[in-house]
Structure 1
């Protein structure tokens, strides 16, 4: 028996933040990062609460790849304030941090027999990338290792997909996050847990990224392109929270932890190599994953007279997107020291092998295969 879950109620289109006017007579915690305060994005929320005389507090210490220490500080603040509603405003880091903060706060209070119910959780993404607003995933950093927390309890209750929050996202972050969306969709599509339901969302997300990424990259004021990428991010999130991911993310997690490469960029660099590996092109086989990659080429109108040609077409198309958005083609171009990389290679392969995302990759890799993949991705 398979299962497909859609938990959050999703409010979308420009101006969807007006949903927050429904919150009255509640205590609200806002989890965000310093830039959201400085840029005025948080004002769109606090102005609504001030008008409605809603009591709120702001925890704005979130940094990229949020460390467990930051989560602990957030838990202590929430233990003291005990909000009825938690709003995560920001990119994947803010939403992931809020998920973990809520999860551990509720566990602590319930263990102490405080009878504190789980607060209403609202996620407002300000990048079109992680899809964290609809997923059961939260990635937290401990030292150089990224640990994914996967639990249905951390899925937000409400997601607000308002393109007004992404209009000013810088050009390169627009590219990195959109490639994260593409990776989510493609990995969910070939996942061992994929289904007709997740495939439909993944296919649509892939089409939207290919159609609108370059438009948004070249003109940040293209509101239609911004909105379509924002929707694609949410759709890909719904796909992978049900189907899970694969070794693309397992490898990106450890690369990010060791070399602080932005997550979306790491995924983009890895993606062509993982597609080639999963499709087993060099073995001359027609794998189920290869057939699905080829089907994406058909959907996109790329050359696809055979599975082999279809797989090569989608790889070539992704490389073109990478090149046109100034994302490095390999890890050497990221200027990672080769000796440092070599010294950490075995540890990264071991981390990727035990990463939870590896379990649903269409091919079960060995540690040696992951080492070889990392070496290929580094470049000559």
Structure 2
């Protein structure tokens, strides 16, 4: 990659004020939430399992912080968020503590944003009015129990509205503290482990080639990609008994979240976001299914409209992905395709895509917010070719 790729190019970084990473640190979250509540109540948002939330709920009680629990099962929707906001308002909570996967964190983030800011449709992109948040946002503490979305360090919440996935977005929605404890991955079933790991992988690859990339996200994405490629295949084959594997996967997810929040994503996520609303398939599986063919479409576009900086970024993937210092973009794309197949990622047809939905998927992806950060615009035919090759 050219050392002058960023000459004269301004950039900004937006991060939570406090990130705490390390085995055993989840226990700190209750104290942080109680302090954030400042004498008020805490809304505890968690998933269907109480395994990781129960100790924190007990600790909240010991600290004198009234706790109200909301459980999130499945993808967060506008209606799910509305109900949770109603619960938070009725309880008069002054802080939110989220313990769970990406759906839990996104729900908590949306609730914290909306308790004093009206209805989701007032602020949602695409399907809503997209108005900025003007009222206060509740402080919230994020404790991810999976490794994939990086939602603990992003400033948007992805919600389902009908057959569409859209974002509620504001810098004010960043967590007050993100507590990332790799030990919470112990015993995670293979499917969410692999799907989350693939989501993190794509969230490291796309920012590296994004037209919004910057020197800081480059450094973080390289570190995260190395961790992901080192430990994701091991986790898929052996589970997460090895603490080094848990640490790698958690780090990849955290760094992927920082990178996507500050450098954007690309057409892979543009397609996966639209397909997720249409098919209801796991987001990480969709990202992985689209990854090889969409990167190949990017290379086709680069041959159509040469861009030396974008080409250098793609070529820089070669050594990172393959370990071969002489490898370039084509070898990187091939290696990523081999990894996706080795991990048993289903193709789009197996995930439920039918012929009549291809056009809708292509049109939605072309206008998706993630696609705007793609290294260069894809034509309708190039996007369609990526979809068809992923089937």
Closer, same or farther: CA 267–257 of 1 in aligned 2, 3 Å? same
- Mapped to 2, the partners of 1:373 and 1:318 lie a distance apart of 15
Are 2:106 and 1:96 aligned?
A: yes
Are 2:64 and 1:53 aligned?
A: yes
**Shift of the alpha carbon at 1:238?**
0.6
Q: Deviations over 1:45-103 (max 9, x none)?
A: 1121132232111011x233211110110111111122222011111111111112222
Say which of 365, 375, 379 aligns to 1:362: 375
Map 1:32-47 → 2, pairs under 5 A? 32-34=46-48, 36-37=49-50, 40-47=51-58
Say which of 27, 32, 35 aligns to 1:18: 27
- Mapped to 2, the partners of 1:244 and 1:314 lie a distance apart of 20
Aligned to 1:77: 87
Closer, same or farther: CA 192–155 of 1 in aligned 2, 3 Å? same
TM-score, with normalisation over the residues of structure 2? Answer: 0.87
Are 2:296 and 1:279 aligned?
A: no
- Mapped to 2, the partners of 1:44 and 1:231 lie a distance apart of 24
Closer, same or farther: CA 343–288 of 1 in aligned 2, 3 Å? same
Closer, same or farther: CA 298–107 of 1 in aligned 2, 3 Å? same
C-alpha contact 1:252 1:270 (8 A) present in aligned 2: yes
Closer, same or farther: CA 281–249 of 1 in aligned 2, 3 Å? closer
**Shift of the alpha carbon at 1:267?**
0.3
**Shift of the alpha carbon at 1:295?**
1.2
Map 1:1-380 → 2, pairs under 5 A? 1-19=10-28, 20-22=30-32, 23=34, 25-34=39-48, 36-37=49-50, 40-60=51-71, 62-108=72-118, 117-217=136-236, 218-280=238-300, 283=303, 287-300=308-321, 302-303=323-324, 305=326, 309-328=327-346, 330-332=347-349, 334=350, 336=352, 341-378=354-391
Which blocks of at least 5 consecutive residues in structure 2 are unaligned? 1-9, 123-133
The number of residues matched between the two structures is 362
Paired residue secondary structure (1:221): coil
TM-score, with normalisation over the residues of structure 1? Answer: 0.89
Q: CA RMSD in A?
A: 2.2
C-alpha contact 2:322 2:335 (8 A) present in aligned 1: no
C-alpha contact 1:172 1:325 (8 A) present in aligned 2: no
- Mapped to 2, the partners of 1:281 and 1:73 lie a distance apart of 45
- Mapped to 2, the partners of 1:312 and 1:44 lie a distance apart of 49
Q: Deviations over 1:244-303 (max 9, x none)?
A: 111111100111111111000100111111211222388385753332232122234533
C-alpha contact 2:187 2:239 (8 A) present in aligned 1: no
